[in-house]
Amino acid sequence: MRYAFVACSGLFLLVACVMALSATDAALMAAQKGNPIPATEESITKGRQIFQRFCRSCHGAEGRGDGGGGPDGVQVANLADDKWDHGSTDVEIFKTIKEGVPPDMYMEPWEGRISDDDIWNTINYIRDLGKRAKG
């Protein structure tokens, strides 16, 4: 009987820990090895559509930070260059898009407005923008 209590207590603790993970943490844990969506033409096309709808106003049509929609006095990130201020890996970029850029939130969080898959597709598109800018 005592072992059953210990086993149940352990299981309860495990379930409580899993439930305590935020949606972002769970998505990041699932993607520890990088972007779970391959950078296919289909993914890049989907990412381009998301980027044009949600990101272009600040980052510009080609991702150069020249969209004009950013906060006054803030230089919006150029996503087509080699310098990344808020993470350079796909997982770090995912977190930046999902959670925004604290503490002043110059880039607002997109969690709840863009699905995780759409964020990953957008990252594939941003990577493609950088390749084309260099080429």
Q: What confidence score (pLDDT) does residue 79 get?
A: 92
The total of structural domains in the chain comes to 1
Residue 117, domain extent: 22-134
Rounded to the nearest 5 degrees, what angle is found at the Cα of 61, between the Cα atoms of 59 and 62?
85
pTM of the model: 0.75
Q: Give the three-class secondary structure for 92.
A: helix
Q: What is the CATH number of the domain that holds 29?
A: 1.10.760.10
Q: How many helices (H) and strands (E) does the chain have?
A: 6, 0
Q: Could you report the per-residue pLDDT of 12-57, keeping only the tens digit for each?
A: 544 444 455 565 565 555 556 799 999 999 999 999 999 999 999 9
